[in-house]
Amino acid sequence: MTAPVFLAETEHLDGPELTLGGPEGRHAASVRRLRAGERVDLTDGAGAVAECVVREALKDALRLDVLRRYDVERPTPRIVVVQGLPKGDRGELAVEMMTEAGVDVIVPWAAARSITQWKGDKVAKALGRWRSTAREAGKQARRFHLPEVADLASTRQVERLLAGAARALVLHEEAAEPLSGVPLPAGGDIVLVVGPEGGVSEEELAAFGAAGAAPTLLGPTVLRTSTAGVAAAAVLLSRTGRW
């Protein structure tokens, strides 16, 4: 069985010994019940990794001996998915699956046809849920570069993001060119827009096109907004050689 991954947010991964404390250490010691001699991996979420073995399990922390350290290069090209806000908890489902697949940046988007709207106090709470979901899914998937969940974006902000991309794409059911055939760059950012349940409006599609984004067809079937992003990411990750 592969070693569990824990996020050492406040620890420097240097020295022959480390202590995993805080919520991560508490979870490792009291929930996972890791004991002396068991293997764990610590990461800072930005590519640094420390392979460790448990020396001692305390009530709410682990004392670890470091076996080796290494850095994982950030993969290229980056896959950025702009996700139109879905209904209910489908946003967290989308974030979880895209994180497991390997998406690098997830941008929540307040689309014109989004049924769900984040306003006032909802913004911070919803972003907190998405970021917590990405963090936990990233550890489960043994990702040493955790994905970024960006702040809530307006359509104008999405336009600017698309304009700066190495390749900008919008999933659209009436597009003629399939995602499996569009030319892709070797580096930079591939930014992909996934609309909400009601789809991307004609005004948004025109604005994104003016910013350099090409409409593209994912496949012959209609996917839910919460699954379209991970399906499209799988195509892109495979075609760019990251899978």
Q: How far, in Å, CA of 17 to CA of 26, rounded?
A: 18
- The reported pLDDT for the residue numbered 14 is 82
Spell out the per-residue pLDDT of the chain, length 243, in tens: 789 999 986 557 888 899 999 999 999 999 999 999 999 999 999 999 999 999 999 999 999 999 999 999 999 999 999 999 999 899 999 999 999 999 999 999 999 999 999 999 999 999 999 999 999 999 999 999 999 999 999 999 999 999 999 999 999 999 999 999 999 999 999 999 999 999 999 999 999 999 999 999 999 998 999 999 999 999 999 999 999
Topology of the domain covering 5-71: Ribosomal Protein L25; Chain P (2.40.240)
- The reported pLDDT for the residue numbered 105 is 98
The residue ranges of every structural domain in the chain are 5-71, 78-239
Helices (H) and strands (E) in the chain, counts: 6, 11
The alpha helices in 173-224, defined as continuous H runs, are 202-210
The one-letter amino acid at 45: G
The one-letter amino acid at 233: A
Nearest to 25 by CA among 63, 52, 53: 63
Nearest to 169 by CA among 156, 154, 185, 153: 185
Residues facing residue 153 across a β-bridge: 109
Q: How far, in Å, CA of 165 to CA of 208, rounded?
A: 12
The CATH H-level superfamily of 78-239 is SPOUT methyltransferase, trefoil knot domain (3.40.1280.10)
The residue whose two tokens read 């593209």 is 216
Q: How far, in Å, CA of 118 to CA of 38, rounded?
A: 43
Task: Give every CB contact of residue 235 below 8 A, 6+ residues apart in sequence.
Answer: 179, 180, 218
Does pTM surpass 0.75?
yes
Q: How many CA atoms lie within 13 A of 5 on its CB side?
A: 21
- The reported pLDDT for the residue numbered 9 is 67
